[in-house]
Structure formats: structure tokens, C-alpha cells
Structure 1
Amino acid sequence: MELTIFYDGTCPLCLNEMQQLKRYDRLNRIGLEDINAADIKQRFPDLNVEQANTILHGLQADGTWLYGLDVTAKAWGLTGKHCWIKMLRLPVIKPVADKAYLAFARNRYRISYLLTGQKRCDTGRCNIK
């Protein structure tokens, strides 16, 4: 895997994006790991699950970590889709985009409810509208 993404599988919008990424990941370059998995700490001892619950974490094949929108930009870049996301990493846009991302991450359950009608995926699966 070129990138392993650690996401919140109880968040409807987060889960929806991960499903989209995998659908476009035709070369199987992206691995997905739900931070709520019972064995996540055993399989990834370097992952701080509490931090990963506040900001998206990505582990690259070379062992370096990416966070937040850097993970998103890298992942979509690997699929060749949504190339516009790279613009969010431009120096003049990055600080604002990162603050907006952190606000989204803090409020992801409320935002998910507004957009999907579901606040959380209690069973580990969401029915995305």
C-alpha cells in the first residue's frame, strides 16, 4: 500500500468518502483502517487513536505520517480523481483550508446528520443517501 488511511467508520460522511476512494482505487494503492476496530492498537501501535479521532491520519509506505487534508489530497491524487483538491494545498489557501477541515472534523457528526439524516453509524455500516 502506498497510503493507509485511518478513518472514523462511525461517521457517515467519512465512510462515504472512503467508499468512494476505494471505488476509484483501481490499482489498490490505498488501504483503509477504521480507528474503531477492536484490534487497531495492536495492529498499529504507533497510531494515536485519540488524535486520529480528531484529525484524519494517513501512513505512507515509507513510514511517514500525513494529517488532515494532506491525507485527502494524497489519496485522491493516487486515484487520479478530484484533482482540484490539490489546490487546497497551495500556500495561500492551505491555512484557511486546514482551519475549515478542523472545524468540519470537530462537527462531523452534526454535519453528517444535516447532509445524510444519520448522525452516526452505530452498527459500523451506514446507509448513505
Structure 2
Amino acid sequence: MYRYRQFLRIDLAVSAVKPSVKSKSVLTASLPKDSVVDNLKPLPSCVYSRRSVSSDGGFQSQTKYKVLYDGECPLCMKEIRFLQYMDKRRQNQLDMIDISSADYRPDDNGGISYETAMQEMHVIGPDNKVYTRVPAFQQMYGAVGLGWVTSFTKLPGMPRLMDIFYGWFAKNRLQWTGRQDCATGQ
């Protein structure tokens, strides 16, 4: 936006130029004291607001998906870093919330407690609907333009199978990453 404003100033300045007597060139012309350039004011902030355009050409609101993740899980962090990278290309549709952070507040995140969030993946949609397990992954990947990655989970029988697999993974991920479950000490 800065370059555009700079170009606009130059364009307006050239149109307000009065050539000097010594030179026929516009480039070496002098500007009058009360030129348009001196009277430029910043554009209102509403001009700078950006809307994101959806793939079908329509406009979306600026609301985001909140992704609740365990920042102490190395496997989870690999996926979160990948999604953050992809999200930068999609105008930041995901708001990543580290549930292991000391400043995590359940009230700001759909009332989902740390303990509940540790049991399974949670994504809070723009409409404040909470998605868990496989639907959470579908929402996350869809928000960054990778919905095709999870498209196979919509085939007949796959949602149930994927939920079983995810339940098994979620139950064992702490042990696999060398961490203990605080509730059981295992």
C-alpha cells in the first residue's frame, strides 16, 4: 500500500508541476508552494481493510478458525508449523491457540478446558461451532486450501474408521512422545 500511495503522490505531483523558465523538462520543474502534494492527507483506515476472497469468488468475513493444540507435543508441532506456513498464503484464516501455554484461557476458547483439549483435537469455527477429531482436521485443512487432503475421510465408512484410528492415536500420543499423562502418571 505504501508504494501505491507513493506512486499516487508522484502522479499528482507531476500533474501539478509548472515547468521552470530555465528548463523545458517536467522532471526538473518546480512545484508551486500550495501544490496538491503538500495538501495530501492519509486515506481513512477503511480504505486499507482487506477482505479475503473465497475460491468461488465471493467474499468471506474476517473471522478465523481457532485451532487448539498442545504446544509440548512434537508431533502436533510439526503439523501446526506446516499449517501456519500454509495459512500465511491464505490470509491467516487460522488462529493457533497453545493449550499448554500458561496464559491459555478456556473462557476465550468456547469453554474448552485444558483437560478436555488434551483428550482430542478441537477447532472452533467462525460461527463458534466446536469441531473435534476428524471433522476438526477437515476444517483446519479446508481453511488453508488443503481440503482435498482430508477428502478421503468423507467416503462411506471412513469417518467411523478414522475416528477409531484418531482415538487410538490421541490416547497414546503422550506416551509416544515421551511424556506422561498428569492424571494417571503414565
Query: Paired residue for 1:31?
Result: 95
**Structure 2-normalised TM-score?**
0.56
CA RMSD, 1 decimal: 1.8
Contact 2:121–2:136 (CA under 8 A) maintained in structure 1: yes
Is the 1:5–1:30 Cα contact (8 Å) retained in structure 2? Answer: yes
Contact 1:7 1:33 in 2 (8 A): yes
What is the identity percentage for the equivalent residue pairs of Structure 1 and Structure 2? 27
| Paired residue secondary structure (1:107) | helix
Alignment check: 8 A CA contact 2:69 2:97 kept: yes
SS of the counterpart of 2:119?
A: coil
Q: How does 1:49-88 map to 2 (within 5 A)?
A: 49-81=114-146, 83-88=148-153
Whole-Å Cα distance in 1 between the matches of residues 155 and 99 of structure 2? Answer: 29
Cα offset, 1:49, TM superposition:
1.8
Structure 2 unmatched runs, 5+: 1-62, 180-186
Alignment pair present for 1:11 and 2:76: no
Contact map agreement 1:104 1:111 (CA 8 A) in 2: no
**What's the counterpart of residue 174 of structure 2?**
109
Aligned partner letter, 1:85: T
Unpaired runs of 5+ in structure 1?
113-118, 121-129
Question: TM-score scaled to structure 1, two decimals?
Answer: 0.79
| Gap change, CA 1:49 and 1:89, over 3 Å in 2 | farther
- Are the aligned partners of 1:70 and 1:89 in contact in 2 as well (CA < 8 Å)? no
| Alpha carbons 2:123, 2:139 under 8 Å: kept | no
Larger Rg, first or second structure (1 or 2): 2
| Distance in 1 between residues matched to 2:72 and 2:104, nearest whole Å | 15
Q: Tell me which protein shows more helix as a share of its residues.
A: 1
CA distance in 2, matches of 1:79, 1:44: 20
Change (3 A) 1:45 1:67: closer
Q: Deviations over 1:12-66 (max 9, x none)?
A: 0001101100100122001100111112125436122211100011111111100
Specify whether residues 45 and 87 from structure 1 end up closer, same or farther in structure 2 by C-alpha distance, changes over 3 A only. closer
Q: Distance in 1 between matches of 2:116 and 2:75?
A: 19
Aligned residues: 114
Q: Which whole-Å CA distance do the structure 1 matches of 2:160 and 2:98 have between them?
A: 27
Q: Which has the higher contact order (CA 8 A, sep 6+)?
A: 1
